[in-house]
Structure 1
Amino acid sequence: MSEKVIVIYSGGMDSFTVLNKALAEGKAPLALSFNYGQRHKKELDYAATACKQLNVPHKIVDISAINSLVGGSALTDDIDVPEGHYEEPSMQQTVVPNRNMILLSLAVGYAVSQNATKVYYGAHSGDHAIYPDCRPEFVEKMNDVCAIANYSAIEIVTPYLEVSKAAILTDGLSMNLDYSLTWTCYNGREKACGKCGACQERLEAFRDNQASDPLPYE
């Protein structure tokens, strides 16, 4: 019987690759997406479509009430999404306070209830400059806590923690993944903006892999 694992699945290209990596490793993933009050739900629609195609059980949980506690981000409030490269200081406006600790805590609880052994999420080295909750020291400490927080120890798994988005894409392309099933843009318009940090890093990854992004851009 395949090992059951939880994959925190945003609908973006990183978590899409993580989900497929878990499948390729012979795991039995349960995909878990969160509506945390982000400025658009387009990524959640993409997540649902991908899981349906992959035949992966998928749960979307509404935790948008936390916005009354952890606001102040361009991803959740009426603040313009900054344009520019992903690692520029202006991108700190996209930090949602304590987001990954909250999401991981909920995912670990779900893992315990489902008799799963691990929780996967898609942190990578490009996140380190801006997002404290994607850094190796955070993952290390969360693993320490999740080993003792329940009767069952749950491992936090970050397959791409030390590599770039371009390297994640390289791995995904080697698995022949269809990235038209993913949404990365911080804006939720009909087409991706191509200007926000998330779009720029995605496009950079495709350029580095000498590949074409299947998403339409403004």
Structure 2
Amino acid sequence: MINNSNNKAVVILSGGMDSTLSSYIAKNSGYELIAVHFNYGQRTENRELIAFRDICKKLNVLNKYEIDIPFFAQIGASALTDKSIDVPVDGLEKGIIPVTYVPFRNGIFLSIASAIAEKENANAIYIGVVQEDSSGYPDCTNSFISSIQNAINEGTKDNTNIKIITPLVNLSKAQIVQEAIKLNVPLELTWSCYKEEESACGVCDSCRLRLNGFKEANQKDPIPYKES
């Protein structure tokens, strides 16, 4: 374990499985956590906020931010923020960026998290992006993270030095499930569904990826589903 007892990390925590595991990895690396959650007009905004608060309790996070970003709904162009666009349920098409992509969402999240990190004197930001087994979003890649890290450090104070840490970026969903179980992550508190807030739909891209990860890891997903 890295000794980061005097260091702080901002963790971008949606309440999903990936961001929750990423936050647990940050804590196990010795960082004092500052949790940041974004309400951006997504369909499952209320359920994700519940997950965020529940997970913060489990992690004993005292310093947390709940940030409202209303303009994503105004921009639209994504099935997550524009209810006139149906959330796809037919599975992912290779090489095609799905309509659930929210334009430059992670870039905006990381920019806000960087402002918080600078204020809090944090030297790391953890984000649970996944490149290999994701929906093909362009803001989840190693190259994007590297580029925005450079831009953030170029655009902040000289004594600010922020490292963006992506512990899951090259993992498959099955490996994420296995690592989460190994670290006793409370997966029953997490929420990944793009469509529903009571029982996960089981058919949207996010549910399919999650369920397939559990299946490949020979584990049972502890959250309720309408269909699986």
Deviations for 1:86-139, whole angstroms, at most 9, x for unmatched residues? 455676100111111111000000000000001110111245552000011101
- Number of the residue aligned with 1:30: 34
RMSD between superposed Cα atoms in Å: 1.6
| Cα distance in 1, alignment partners of residues 220 and 72 from structure 2 | 37
Q: Aligned pair count?
A: 217
Residues 1:179 and 2:187 are matched in the alignment: yes
Q: TM-score if structure 1 supplies the norm length?
A: 0.94
Residue 166 of structure 1: how far off its partner (Å): 1.5
C-alpha deviation, 1:188, in angstroms:
2.5
Please list every run of 5 or more consecutive structure 2 residues that lacks an aligned counterpart in the other structure.
none
Structure 1 residues 21-170: aligned runs within 5 Å: 21-41=25-45, 42-57=47-62, 58-68=64-74, 70-78=75-83, 79-86=85-92, 88=94, 92-126=98-132, 130-151=136-157, 152-170=160-178
Query: Match of 1:92, SS?
Result: coil
1:43-81 Cα distance to aligned partner (Å, 9 max, x none) = 11111111122211322111113432x311000001111
- Alignment of 1:17 with 2:25, yes or no, is no
Letter in 2 for 1:22: A
Q: Give secondary structure in 2 for the equivalent of 1:93.
A: coil
> Among the aligned pairs, what percent are the same residue?
39
- 1:129–1:34: structure 2 CA closer, same or farther, 3 Å change rule? closer
Secondary structure of residue in 1 paired with 2:73: helix
Matched residues in 2 for 1:91 and 1:190: separation? 27
Listed one character per residue, the Cα deviations across residues 138-195 of structure 1 (whole Å, up to 9, x for unaligned) are 0110121122211112111111111212212211111122200100000123101100
Q: What TM-score, normalized to structure 2?
A: 0.90
Cα 1:207/1:32, change in 2 over 3 Å: same
Q: For the Cα contact (< 8 Å) 1:127–1:134, is it kept in 2? A: no
Change (3 A) 1:216 1:91: farther
